[in-house]
Amino acid sequence: MTELDDRYLDPAVETMPREELERLQESRILQLVPYVYQRSPLVRELWEKHGVTPDDIKSLADFKAKVPFMDKDMIRDFRDRNGDPFGGLACVGPPHMRGVGFTSGTTGDPTPLPRPEDNAVLITLKRELWHMGMRPGDHLTYLLFTFREGMIGDRWMDTGFTPICVQHSPLDIPYLVQISKEYRPKSLFMISTPMILGLEQYEKNTGENIKEAFSSYEGIVFGGEPMSPHIRKLMDRWEFPVYELTSLGDVATATECSAHDGMHTWEDVALIEHLDPDGNTDAEDGARGEMVVTALLDDVAPLIRFRTDDLIEFTRKTCVCGRTHGRMKPLGRKGDELVVNGKSILPIDIFPFIGDFPETRTGLFQIIRPQRETETLKLRVGYDADALQDGEDALKARIKERINAELGLPSDIELMSNEEMVKLGPPNKIPRVSKS
């Protein structure tokens, strides 16, 4: 292996020419099609409804042209109609089904994600950690929230990484700091807004030097939601080597590389389609589109042409890091879009400025969206009462003035304490859009 290749855990796959990568995808799709049709109750029901059989799929082009889409509502509907906790996705049961994870449930009830032995999330995560500098013998701080299913034990043996598990809770901040100082881990997977806010409070209360305590890390993965300016400033001050992560449609994850120019979508484990948000045609490379995914290595409960509802910018151009797989930049969810007086608003439009006030610097907010179209932008905003300068009404007025300046929209502001805001969601984030 050359010095250049040492950046990659699996250089042959990570730098595979696009033509070879597409042939690999087609081969895996053609193996997958008859398998899921025979074994997945939801797939069979859906395909029969659309008059599609495996005999109709003889190429990757056929697959994209003929196989119907599925989405979370279809999975939940099948679950409720049939009393099937896996929503008709499961093709096998134990012992080959090695675990069950869940989605976060921020946009609805959590969706179960049965996992095989060769977990695609773990396959891709190992590549990312290697790229960040992890090598055999290094310690990994494993801070993943439990609803995603544990990925510890002998699953790391092929890399030689040694995971140290910490509960993803601000209550465990003292332990996180302690193990970071004692074991000097190389990477941390993963940290979130509530954990960063917890570190900030711990630093304030104890005088702990967070920068020094975390100085051994060469990669700290941040995920769950977009990073607010305040969170970015904190991690810059602590000199955290941050790599942002997002979900790859519940098939795997996508993480930034050292170029920090989009999150790599591993196309040997997932077929990515990048479609016009208002139709089914391909979106242009680099343009805004909806992500549709198909799991290529999951033989337990694969998602097939799954419409994620995620809006992304996506390109298949080779990255400067040398990887040939696509890169995405998440923009938000189609279902989160609020149209205010004809103007489209997503949470990503609020993040850049909502934390600019001393009282709201944590950047905690929710868009209140009882329906898709409205005449007034309604926001629930977290604030620090101890930092309140001139009363709640005056703070509301300042926020409304800023919204009008930034977005040109009238607004209605509800204030809620930061402590109450962080209770509104799972441990890694809060829902940024709420019906009420």
Reported as a single tens digit per residue, the pLDDT across 129-157 is 999 999 999 999 998 765 445 555 556 77
432 in Cβ contact with 225 (< 8 Å): yes
Share of the chain above pLDDT 70, in %: 92
What's the CATH number where 7 sits? 3.40.50.12780
Tens of pLDDT, residue by residue over 221-234, are: 999 888 999 999 99
Pair 330, 310: CB distance under 8 Å: yes
- Is the same domain home to 315 and 382? no
Q: Are residues 347 and 255 in the same domain?
A: no
Q: What is the pLDDT of residue 152?
A: 54
Q: Are residues 243 and 361 in the same domain?
A: no
pLDDT digits (tens, 9 = 90+) for 262-297: 999 999 999 999 999 888 899 999 999 999 999 999
Same domain, 5 and 143: yes
3-state secondary structure of 242: strand
Helix (H) or strand (E) holding 165: strand 162-165
pLDDT band at residue 354 under the 50/70/90 scheme: very high
pLDDT at 426 over 80: no
381 and 310 co-located in one domain: no
Q: In terms of residue numbers, what domain contains 70?
A: 1-333
The predicted structure's pLDDT at residue 147: 45
- Four-residue CA torsion sign, 151, 155, 156, 159: negative
Asked whether residue 255 falls in the same domain as residue 390, the answer is no
Domains of the chain: total: 2
State the CATH number of the domain containing residue 405: 3.30.300.30
pLDDT at position 52 is: 98
User: 333, 350, 377 — which closes off a domain?
Assistant: 333
* pLDDT-based confidence at residue 101 (cuts at 50, 70, 90): low
Average pLDDT over residues 103-120: 68
Kindly give the interhelix angle for 347-354 and 392-407, rounded to the nearest 10 degrees: 120
- For the chain, give percent helix, strand, coil, nearest 5: 35, 25, 40
pLDDT of residue 318: 97
DSSP per-residue codes, 223-277: -SSPPPHHHHHHHHHTT--EEEEEEETTTEEEEE-TT-SSEEE-TTTEEEEEE-T
- Tell me the two tokens of residue 431: 């829902």
What does pLDDT average to over the chain? 91
| 377 vs 419, higher pLDDT | 377
pLDDT computed for residue 1 by the predictor: 39
Lowest-pLDDT choice from 23-32, 102-111, 313-322, 405-414: 102-111
pLDDT at 97: 73
Tell me the β-bridge partners of 265: 326
Are both 328 and 396 inside the same structural domain? no
Final residue before a domain boundary, out of 333, 363, 385 = 333
| Predicted confidence (pLDDT) per residue in 151-164, tens digit | 555 567 788 999 99
Residues 6+ apart with CB under 8 A from 183: 139, 164
| Across 165-174, 198-207, 394-403, least confident range | 165-174
Which pTM does this prediction carry?
Answer: 0.89
pLDDT tens for 269-278 read 999 999 998 8
Asked whether residue 80 falls in the same domain as residue 157, the answer is: yes
Statement to judge: residues 274 and 416 lie in one domain: no
pLDDT of residue 148: 47
Q: Are residues 396 and 259 in the same domain?
A: no
Q: Are residues 270 and 385 in the same domain?
A: no
Whether residues 249 and 316 share a domain: the answer is yes
Is the predicted pLDDT of residue 96 greater than 90, yes or no?
no
Picking from 333, 348, 369, the residue at the C-terminal end of a domain is: 333
Tell me what pLDDT residue 120 has. Answer: 83
What tens digit of pLDDT does each residue of 43-95 get? 999 999 999 999 999 999 999 999 999 999 999 999 999 999 999 999 988 77
pLDDT of residue 105: 56
